[in-house]
Structure 1
Amino acid sequence: MDLDLVFSIASALALISWVVLFVFYENPVIYPVLLSGVIFFLAVLYLYFISVGLTEGGEGGFGSLDDVRQLFDSDHALLAGWIHYLVFDLFVGMWMANDTFILKINKWLLLPCLFFTFMMGPVGLLLYLIVRAIRIGKFTQYPFFRKSKKQLI
């Protein structure tokens, strides 16, 4: 399997998903489509490539930075790591977009948060948490996970 082709397909799929998420974030249909379609597909790709990458005989582990570097000596494991970023960043972006809708935060304030989440993960999340804190009037994110069932999509 051509790993560069898989990389390109996964990256393009993620980029398209981010654009769709921003444009259609108010439409509740987009969330199950992205979660059950794109994220599921990318997660299966991840599972395949991480399985191959970790069984190729490479050394490494999680005990030190050097151990982690050795884990990614395999191109399969490296591709899996990239897909890992794509999946989790998109999932965080979906949460932010849905939360923006619930809290009635201006769509244009969401745009830089999504952009930075796509490009630099935690930076975009941090930016969104600041925007969210300003909107709800306090920095403490509680009740971050305590939404009523009616508010969940």
Structure 2
Amino acid sequence: MTWELLFTLINAVVVPAWLLLFLGPTWRTTQIVVHSGIYPLALGSIYAICLIASLFFGVSSDGVGFTSIAGVSALFDHPNGVIIGWSHYLVFDLFVGAWIGRDAMRRGLPHLAVAPCLIATFIFGPVGLLAYMLVRFSRGQGISLFETGQDER
């Protein structure tokens, strides 16, 4: 498998999850597929395999490390490093998007107000989370991250 094909596949794999979050946040399929460990385990496995290959088997550029900007830059000089970084983004952005979906349902926020935040999270990661927190705040829901009845605004 080429690096380009792997990159294309990991991009394609997350699209169904995002479509489920956007189009059917309350569907049973969304609950089973998106809110389970399927995506973090699948993409996390790709991440772990590529990271191990980079750190222990030399599938990376010279000088890779996490203690300097030069070392991190060197990671992305190799296609394996790009896969590592990109799968990291995909896992965490989807995790945040799924949390936004669950949190919005718990709080009774209208999906039309949340959907643009999900799109922004899919495309721009933290910007979508920021947008969601602004939606929550503007609707009197605060910005607390408590998920139980202990909501401290």
Instruction: Please indicate, yes or no, whether the TM-score normalized by the shorter chain is above 0.5.
Output: yes
> Counterpart of 1:2?
2
Question: What secondary structure sits across from 2:109 in the alignment?
Answer: coil
Q: Structure 1 residue runs of 4+, over 3 Å off? A: none
1:75 counterpart (74, 79, 87): 79
Identity of aligned residues (%): 33
Asked if structure 2 preserves the Cα contact closer than 8 Å seen for 1:42 and 1:83, the reply is yes
Provide the rounded CA distance (Å) in 2 between the counterparts of 1:64 and 1:145: 35
- TM-score of the two chains, using structure 2 as the length reference: 0.85
- TM-score of the two chains, using structure 1 as the length reference: 0.85
Question: What secondary structure sits across from 2:4 in the alignment?
Answer: helix
Q: Is 1:14 paired with 2:14?
A: yes
Aligned-partner residue type, residue 110 of structure 1: V
Aligned residues: 145
Provide the rounded CA distance (Å) in 2 between the counterparts of 1:114 and 1:146: 19
Q: Is 1:41 paired with 2:42?
A: yes
Provide the rounded CA distance (Å) in 1 between the counterparts of 2:141 and 2:104: 15
Q: Kindly state the Cα deviation for residue 32 of structure 1 after the two structures are TM-superposed.
A: 4.0
* Higher relative contact order, structure no. (Cα contacts within 8 Å, ≥ 6 residues apart): 1
- Structure 2: 5+ residue runs without aligned partners? none
- What's the RMSD between the two structures over aligned residues? 1.8
Provide the rounded CA distance (Å) in 2 between the counterparts of 1:41 and 1:59: 28
Provide the rounded CA distance (Å) in 2 between the counterparts of 1:79 and 1:27: 31
